[in-house]
Structure 1
Amino acid sequence: MERGSRESFTRMGTLGIEEECFIVDERGRPTSGTDELVYEHDPPEILEGKLDHELFKFVIETQTPLIEDPQNARDALLEIRQALLTHAHDHGYDIAAAGLHPLAKWRELEHAEKPRYRAQLDRIQYPQHRNTTAGVHVHVGVDDADKAVWIANELRWYVPIMLALSANSPYWNGFDTGLESARAKIFEALPNTGMPTYFEDFDAFDRFERRMLETESINDRGELWYDVRPHTAHGTVELRTPDGQADPDIVMAFVEYAHALVEALAEDYEDGASGYAQTHRRELLDEHKWRAIRYGHDAALLDREMEGTLELGELVDRECERLGIDGIKDVYERDSGAEKQRRLLEEEGPDALCESLLLEGE
């Protein structure tokens, strides 16, 4: 029973970026390809140990190497993306990204044979059978286990800001859900997902993780799929909130925001701040997140005191000024991914929509 430990948390401010993407055919439609790209053909050297697949054979995952200096994050992301595109093109595929592929119909797509996923399908059944989601996960290193748990607690309020900005999945199983991020709602049907509860310290989280393993509620610690979690093997806080994105500038805006948040919260912890997390009811955090799922860029989210609402644009302005960043402001000022998808489908049709989701290479 593999578990992480307190000793994993040794480095502050490092980064790692995981992206889940879609394997598509020459027309941009989802197609099974992970057998060839992950198992049957050796990937470019930079992807060795950094390439895997998800539940469906059309969903593939990449991970950057450990990024010591945040200034190098963009180059690391682009190198991994280019290697994935080259690998896919060499074997007759292309790569797309969004929270959900708008033309993916889960009953028509193949599940992977990997024992881990077969066990999940058997245990979870329908919610996992239909889970065609894809997201962006950002890891930020933290140098103390208790600090990491405190930061993860505080980050729960920030999760919906990032989700609203990333909203890029209005379509699921071939129809318009009326949501801006249907991915988030589809994924929440799985156990151990969504907004986590408050943990007093690392020992409390460690007891929870151990209990879930010992009771066989999960098969490995990676099945704690909450929106934010301390990663007890990597020694990071992992933000798992954003929908997948084809545009690397949008991904990097979330990386910049996540890194700035963790660094700022680490300073608060070291200064002895009490924070807000203990006063935030999970029910209100769920409402906060629901508004992001439903309305995306047009959301009015709950304020830090959970007593009123603020428009997303106002929150973005405040966060950019407070943290000295600008990427999420640029994301907010553009059409959301969900808006763009709806407009393209209505005005230009499914071919244009599929083309818009393709990753661009050199």
Structure 2
Amino acid sequence: MELGSADAFDRMGTLGVEEEFYIVDADGRPTSGIDDLVYGPEPPEPLAGRLDHELFKFTIETQTPLIEVPDEAGAAVETVREALVDHAANHGYRIAAAGLHPAAKWRELDHATKPRYQAQLDRIQYPQHRNTTAGLHVHVGVDDADKAVWVANELRWYLAPLLALSANSPFWNGFDTGLASARAKVFENLPNTGMPTAFDDFEDFQRFERRMVEYGSIDDRGELWYDVRPHTGHGTVEIRTPDAQTDPERVADFVEYVHALVLDLADRYESGESGTTVRRELLDENKWRATRYGRDTDFVAPDSEGVVSLESFVESESDRLGVDGLRSLLDAESGTAVQRRIHEESGLDALCEHLTLD
């Protein structure tokens, strides 16, 4: 039974970035490639020990090394991406990035044979069979387990604006869903996903984690796929909400903000703040607004009195935390808008080409 420990939470402010990508052929169409890229010859050094795959044979995941200097996160992401693109090219593949691949039709794609994923397919059935999603996960180290749980609780309100800014998946299974982030809704069909309930402290969270394993709901703690979670193996708070991003600069912008936000919340915990009480239903409502409308919406305020526009959120958070990336994300055309524009103007072939990283 794989469970984490409070002892893992021993470093404050370190960073790690996980990105999920798609393996595609010369025409930018999804193709099975993990046998060569993950299980074949040893990948180049930036990827050694930091390359894995997901449920389908056309999905692949990278992890950066531990990042101790936040300003180096962008360079670390680009180094890993460049190594992945080169590694794929050496085996005749290309790499694409988006929350969902517009040409991926799950019934026509092969699942990985890894026992972990076969067990999930057997247990979860239809929702997992169609899970072709790709996300961006940001880990920030926290030096105390109770603090990590408190920070994760507080982060829940911020997840909807992050999803709105990251939305990059309007197409799923070959059609336009009408959603800004179809990935969010497809992934949310799995068990143990979406917006978590607040936990009283680390003991409360660990009790839940242990029960889920002991009662057979999950095989290990890694199958708690909530939008934010204390990672009891890495000693981090992990935000899992954003869609995968095509542009690495957008990844760096998200990492900058998430890091600053976690440090700010950690300071507020140390100052004795009691935390924010927000109804789970309102958090779900905010996430739905981001899923459906992306940037073209507002959000129920943290105190549940009135609404907050995305523009005012970006302005206030940028000024409060002294970050620049949020404004860059808001000023640029959204990933969802770019995809729809290219698809309408030039068709699916052009869109697939746009999403490739080389």
TM-score range for the pair, normalised by the shorter chain length = over 0.9
- Deviation string for 1:17-51 (max 9, x for gaps)? 00000000111111110111000222102211100
Letter of the aligned partner of 1:320 in structure 2?
S
Q: How far off its partner does 1:54 sit? A: 0.2
**Unaligned regions of 5+ residues in structure 2, if any?**
none
Q: Does 1:185 align with 2:181?
A: no
Alignment of 1:166-315 (within 5 A): 166-276=166-276, 279-315=277-313
In 2, the alpha carbon distance for the partners of 1:22 and 1:306 equals 39
- The corresponding residue for 1:104 is 104
In 1, the alpha carbon distance for the partners of 2:185 and 2:306 equals 24
- The corresponding residue for 1:73 is 73
Alignment of 1:22-101 (within 5 A): 22-101=22-101
What TM-score do you get using the length of structure 1 for normalisation?
0.98
- Deviation string for 1:299-348 (max 9, x for gaps)? 21111112211211111111101110011111111111111101100101
What secondary structure does 1:257 align onto? Answer: helix
Alignment RMSD (CA, Å): 0.7
What secondary structure does 2:61 align onto? Answer: strand
In 2, the alpha carbon distance for the partners of 1:176 and 1:349 equals 12
What secondary structure does 1:60 align onto? Answer: strand
Alignment of 1:320-335 (within 5 A): 320-335=318-333
Contact 2:74 2:251 survives alignment (8 Å): no
In 2, the alpha carbon distance for the partners of 1:87 and 1:134 equals 19
- Deviation string for 1:210-258 (max 9, x for gaps)? 0001001000100000000000010000000110111001011110011
- The corresponding residue for 2:124 is 124
In 1, the alpha carbon distance for the partners of 2:102 and 2:200 equals 40
In 1, the alpha carbon distance for the partners of 2:162 and 2:353 equals 25
185-194 vs 305-314, which moves further: 305-314
- The corresponding residue for 1:342 is 340
Q: How far off its partner does 1:298 sit? A: 0.8
**Unaligned regions of 5+ residues in structure 1, if any?**
none
Letter of the aligned partner of 1:308 in structure 2?
G
In 1, the alpha carbon distance for the partners of 2:132 and 2:335 equals 17
In 2, the alpha carbon distance for the partners of 1:19 and 1:340 equals 20
Letter of the aligned partner of 1:271 in structure 2?
S
Identity, in percent, stands at 68
In 2, the alpha carbon distance for the partners of 1:186 and 1:67 equals 31
Post-superposition, which runs of at least 4 consecutive aligned residues in structure 1 deviate over 6 A?
A: none
How many residues get paired? 358
Letter of the aligned partner of 2:281 in structure 1?
E
What secondary structure does 2:39 align onto? Answer: helix
Letter of the aligned partner of 1:181 in structure 2?
S
In 1, the alpha carbon distance for the partners of 2:13 and 2:123 equals 37
What secondary structure does 2:148 align onto? Answer: helix
